[in-house]
Structure 1
């Protein structure tokens, strides 16, 4: 840097001498329009008078030896051979960075593929097969406490299978904490709709039972028979509301699937109640109430499936 400063001083002196000998302003303009290489050609042979280095230039932090080693202070660092160096993936664009972040772990990938078949199989074995193929005569012992507990036991088996299925689905769908995928926002309208549908599913059977207790609906249905028909239904509906609130609180990726799992089984549960209505001798108003509940939950299930289709299309459009 010091040598360059001295060279600049000598150049300025020569320029001043040259300007004194110029007689016309046009010639000065012509000199200024020349290329820098031409203008500086006359100063190629000028001697460099300043050779003193500054203090910070006198001792460089790095130096090299004849063998190619690098000296840093008093330590010698050997150069790294490019052939022996570990291979580092070269990222050509920002898309490569996003793909590396979103790529699932290689250790978890072999475990996720069996879950795609294991989870639905567990749901099928615990929910649909006992409800459709298990004869009710071997489980239901009549309109008494034993018959009520046997029906509740079937629903508890399904609930355990549903919980296991939701846990496996959550493990497959939840992104890692280091991933750049943002957590999907749960719309408030969706929450209100689910809570409203569940609340209406609670109110319809409770109003029927209250009207029967007051004598508005005749004939009167005994309490044990009404518990057999509507007790497991109300219990599983309460568990569904709790599961939905937990998935909303934990921001689980199964928040859109959990209602569909329970509502599909609820249709089978109410169809089972229609079969048992003839065995317990329930009146016509109870049978019509059960048919109305079946129709209501089929409608709710269809709306939930439409929401899943809408959310899948909206997510795909958002990614594009």
Structure 2
């Protein structure tokens, strides 16, 4: 009796349809009554109907066990993804630290190799090489020999600056290094170079043309070329190197003038020794001594700028932690 009652109840539920008044009676043809499934074991009634395209699909809630399983599965997947991402980041950091340490180990010999190259290419030939083996007389051969001696220094100075640039770069290659000198520094460097070029040029031009009567007797062209032409070439090389370091924003812009100006002092001292060999007049010797004094003064100013820049860098590094602490407060 119970089973017959349940069957009749389910049939009545499945055959019940809502009464909807439609303007178009043909739309009733699209609605179809589905089948009913009765489970007597669990006393559950499941009615499935095929709804029309205008009716929303019924919402069938999942059981608590299925919902908890889905949530746990999603949480486990999220946790596994977070752990894998953290492991990958730690692996990348360790690899980057190893690469940086290897690069730093490769940079250690440069600290000794760079100054050694500068010493052997520039200072050693000028200080220990006898001038009698280079300078024979005031002719073209002696001029080319002196220019070649200075070219050796220029090559050594270029290698030294490249090594210093590699040491000054940050350990992490991904970090950018933009070191730009201030405008006042550029202006005074250009002013010193132009002054060092114009003063001897005007004096030589005045002696050759007779505009300055005190600059007599005049110095022959080949003798003046032996004394001052290597000096002018070094000025041009220094100007080009400084412009390139400014353009590339290299950290060696502060050291470049010190390297060339130190050698220029030795170069002019060599010119004073050679002035006796070419029978240079007294005013030429005084001009060379004035140039030596000028470049020693400029070299001292450059060294003071190095000290100022070191103090400025220390002040900025001390101000950064204070600003960070004030922001945290």
Instruction: Give the number of aligned pairs.
Output: 249
TM-superposition CA deviations, 1:17-57 (whole Å, max 9, x none): xxxxxxxxxxxxxxxxxxxxxxxxxxxxxxxxxxx996799
CA separation of 1:63/1:143 partners in 2, compared to 1, >3 Å: closer, same or farther? same
Q: What are the residue-to-residue correspondences of 1:58-137 with 2, within 5 Å? A: 59=67, 62=70, 64=72, 71=73, 105-137=100-132
The normalised TM-score by structure 1 is: 0.70
CA distance in 1, matches of 2:140, 2:197: 22
Q: Equivalent of 1:160, from 155, 167, 172?
A: 155
Q: Tell me the SS of whatever aligns to 2:253.
A: coil
Conserved in 1, the CA contact under 8 Å of 2:265 and 2:292? yes
Inter-partner Cα distance in structure 2 for 1:263 and 1:76: 67
More helix by share: 2
Q: 1:56 to 1:289 in 2, by over 3 A?
A: farther
Give the TM-score normalised by structure 2. Answer: 0.68
Deviations 1:153-180 (A, max 9, x none): 000000000000000001110224533x
Please tell me whether the aligned partners of residues 180 and 246 of structure 2 are also in contact (alpha carbons under 8 angstroms): no
Aligned counterpart in structure 1 of residue 297 of structure 2, from 289, 299, 304: 299
Q: Which residue of 2 aligns with 1:281?
A: 279
Residue deviations 1:159-209, cap 9 Å, x none?
000000000001110224533x76333100000000000000000110111
Equivalent residue number for residue 178 of structure 1: 174
- Offset, 1:272: 0.2
Paired with 2:97 and 2:216, the residues of 1 have a C-alpha distance of 62
| Bigger Rg over Cα | 2
Cα distance in 2 for partners of 1:56, 1:187 equals 73
Give the Cα separation in 2 of the matches to 1:261 and 1:101: 35
SS at structure 1 position matched to 2:250: coil
Equivalents in 1 of 2:152, 2:217: separation in Å?
A: 34
Aligned residue number for residue 319 of structure 1? 317
Provide closer, same or farther for how the CA distance between residues 225 and 244 of structure 1 changes in structure 2, counting only shifts above 3 A: same
Partner of 1:263: 261
Provide the C-alpha distance between the structure 2 equivalents of 1:103 and 1:318, rounded to a whole number of angstroms.
29
The answer for the alignment partner of 1:209 in structure 2 is 204
Q: Deviations over 1:247-284 (max 9, x none)?
A: 00000000000000000000000000000000000000
* Gap regions ≥5 residues in structure 2: 1-58, 319-329
- In the superposition, relative to structure 1, how do residues 151 and 56 fare at CA in structure 2: closer, same or farther (>3 Å)? farther
Is 1:192 the counterpart of 2:187 in the alignment?
yes
1:234 to 218, 228, 232: 232
Give the conservation status (yes or no) of the 8 Å contact 1:247–1:255.
yes
Query: Structure 1 residues 228, 63: CA separation in 2 closer, same or farther (over 3 Å shift)?
Result: same
Q: Is the 8 A contact 2:118 2:160 kept in 1?
A: yes
Give how far 1:220 is off: 1.2
Contact 1:101/1:178 (<8 A) preserved: no
